[in-house]
Amino acid sequence: MRVKAEMVFNRLEDLAPLSLAESWDNSGLQLGSRDQTVNAILVTLDVDERAVDIALEVGANLIISHHPLFFHGIKSIDYDSIQGRLIRRLVNRDLTVYAAHTNLDLAPGGLSQFLALKLGLINIRPLGVVKSQQLLKLVVFVPESHLEEVRQAINDAGAGFIGNYRDCSFRTLGVGTFRPLAGSQPFLGSTGVLEEAAEYRLEVIVPGELLDRVIRSMIEAHPYEEVAYDLIPLNNTGKTYSYGRQGDLPREMALEELAENIKTILGIEHVAVSSRTTGKVKKICLVPGSGASMIKMARREGCQVLITSDVKYHEACEALDSGLALIDPGHDGMESAAVDMLVSHLKEAGRNEGWNVQIHGFKEEPIWRKV
């Protein structure tokens, strides 16, 4: 089947909704067109000249990266600069670029969850709370003849989830009144005549990030020319999102053994270890990318080891003084797992939807090497 870039973006956003991205971030479409027909896909950590080389070698015209191509606003595109040459090449080669960054980091099934599972942790749960899901109640008034059709459309668009239950709704029967005015085309009744109709008041819970999609689906399924509905903000707690995960190793192990396991699982040669403990460890937490800001949270949660990257000297001292061991695989060492994760996710989506598109992963050599 013919695959448009927007179809790929939609499957990525099922995993990592753009509403989760931080305000300072720039996740989503970076360059190109949502309407582009996709020949092949390259997934990479960063978009640079080498990534473009590989994309062209494998025939990919869509690049999916973890780190955004554009992090800050630009005022000019200078073809003599590194960034300008790269942009010019991407445009000339008709390549589309999309980034899944902090939205992938915060997603419930995102990068931290993927890494926790790869490390074999059990009893996995979020490490603290960064964001909470906004919830609204949608109330819509529907004639009896279209109640099930409207309910199904709303639920299929993502509304009506409560915990581990879906298709949750409540309805009450009542009487609606209306008088069609000149120029109207009423589904029921006649122009200028006060009408009464048996209608159901249908209520569902809607996640804020899906509201536009749910409303569109509701209106498309509803028979009325003008759909009467209410949106009520709720103080109920929806899903919570965190950059990190905590959990337990299947068995206690020495810190050195854990470090070796991490190197094997991530496919890297070196990690940095900081610890004053000589005993075995079991309760672990991890934060992809730069997670030193969560050292205090890790200790409050009773973690023995924090796996994260870009830890500075004084931050490491703080962790040591509090009894928390650190393992730092390097920023690219941890986040390169995003390539494996996104390739796996897109291949599964392609199988489910019948895409005839090759999906390739590319990992750069580590930025730092020991000499």
Is the pTM higher than 0.75?
Answer: yes
Q: Which residues does residue 307 pair with via DSSP β-bridges, in sequence order?
A: 286, 327
**172: its two tokens:** 């009450």
**pLDDT of 370:** 65
* pLDDT < 70 stretches in the chain: 368, 370-371
**pLDDT of 188:** 85
**pLDDT of 175:** 95
φ/ψ (deg, to 5) at 154: -65, -45
Write the Ramachandran bin of 310: left for phi over 0, alpha for psi from -120 to 50, otherwise beta: left
**pLDDT of 24:** 93
Q: pLDDT tens across 293-318, in order?
A: 999 999 999 999 999 999 999 999 99
**pLDDT of 295:** 93
**pLDDT of 34:** 96
| Residues 159 and 204: beta-carbon distance below 8 Å | yes
Q: How far apart are alpha carbons 119 and 327 in whole angstroms?
A: 13
Q: What are the structural domains, with CATH classification, of the chain?
A: 5-105+336-362 (3.40.1390.30), 111-130+243-331 (3.40.1390.30), 134-233 (3.30.70.120)
